[in-house]
Amino acid sequence: MNNKVCLLGATGFIGSAISEKLNQNNIDWIGLSRKNSTDPRIVEVDFTNPRSIIEIIDAYPNVINAMGSNKPRDFEENPEFVLNSFWNDLDNISAILNASNVKKLLNISSGGTVYGEYTGRPSKESDPLKPKSWYGRSKVLEELRFEQLAHKNNFTYICARVTNPFGNKSFTKHGFIDVLANSVLNDLDFNTYQADCYYRDFIHSSDMANIIIELLNVDYIDTVNVFNVGSGISTNLIELAEDTKKMYPNLKLKRNYLANKYEVIHSEVCIKKTRMISQKIHKLLSIEEYIKGI
């Protein structure tokens, strides 16, 4: 395969982790972002002005889509604005991909939201998608749009349903574990759930990026290929916070957060399918190792 990679959303939490691994693997890549970057390989672009972007993708036809500036809470706090923004972005990116000579598209979706609630076993890629939130629903719509484009334009589509990545040192306020670590390091209050019932499937951002690159490099027979990218382990959030306090007694742990009805209570994915493809998934950094090392 032509291994030139175009990384959309190269300056974000997920995108920056992937760009680091692309460098380490000596892969020829170019990044696109709506934000300015000091990295000469990352180009600031306007996705409403597609001509230059199409030319870049034609030269770098293996595309990783790590875009996604909207957070789950944004959809609930300002739904009309955020949904319109999401749909406009999806339309613009779809039009660009439709006009480009894409060979492969690897899209980062949300394994922590698209399946909805835990059903008594880890969620498999073939399970029905039952998202509770508009954030999760937007990810399902995005998946469907890209599947349609792949069939229409005959390129390979890989959907990576990533669970809850953590550990990108440039984003200390992203997600439960990074906020927890930042609270330890900076002597801040850590506000967590009142209830004991919340579970998440976490994966370190470096491990996630390694697996993404492995998935991109596979020669697929099918047009559409879906993989869960997580640890396959469901961690109780209260136990995680309390275990961290045992390691760092000065942590100011406060259980005063009331979850809203759109939050998934228990998330856990099955990674059996991904294990058949990825060597890196067998050597994941554990949460305990990460917390001990902060």
Domain map (residue ranges) of the chain: 5-165+203-231+268-281, 167-199+233-267+284-292
pTM score, whole prediction: 0.95
Specify whether the CB–CB gap between 200 and 234 falls below 8 A.
yes
CA distance 8 to 1: 20
DSSP annotation string for 138-166: HHHHHHHHHHHHHHHHT-EEEEEEE-EEE
Q: Which one of 3.20.20.70, 3.40.190.10, 3.40.50.720, 3.30.390.30 gives the CATH number of domain 5-165+203-231+268-281?
A: 3.40.50.720
Q: With contact defined as beta carbons under 8 Å apart, do 42 and 60 qualify?
A: no
| Residue-level pLDDT at 1 | 44
CATH topology identical between 5-165+203-231+268-281 and 167-199+233-267+284-292 = no
What parts of the chain have a pLDDT lower than 50? 1
Q: Distance between CA 141 and CA 148 in Å, rounded?
A: 11
Q: How much is the pLDDT for 29?
A: 98
The burial of 269, by beta-carbon neighbours within 10 Å (0-12 exposed, 13-18 middle, 19 or more buried), is given as buried
Q: Are 165 and 203 in contact (CB under 8 A)?
A: yes
Would you state the pLDDT for residue 2? 60
Please count the CA atoms within 13 angstroms of the CA of 8 that sit on its side-chain side.
26
Give which of 229, 226, 200, 225 is closest to 212, Cα–Cα: 229
Q: Determine the pLDDT at residue 171.
A: 83
Q: Give the long-range contacts of residues 147-154, CB within 8 A, separation 24 or more.
A: 147/224, 149/94, 149/97, 149/98, 149/105, 150/105, 150/223, 150/224, 151/223, 151/224, 152/98, 153/97, 153/98, 153/102, 154/223
Q: So what's the pLDDT on residue 112?
A: 95
Q: Which residue, 85, 221, 237, 114, is CA-closest to 166? A: 237
CATH of domain 167-199+233-267+284-292: 3.90.25.10
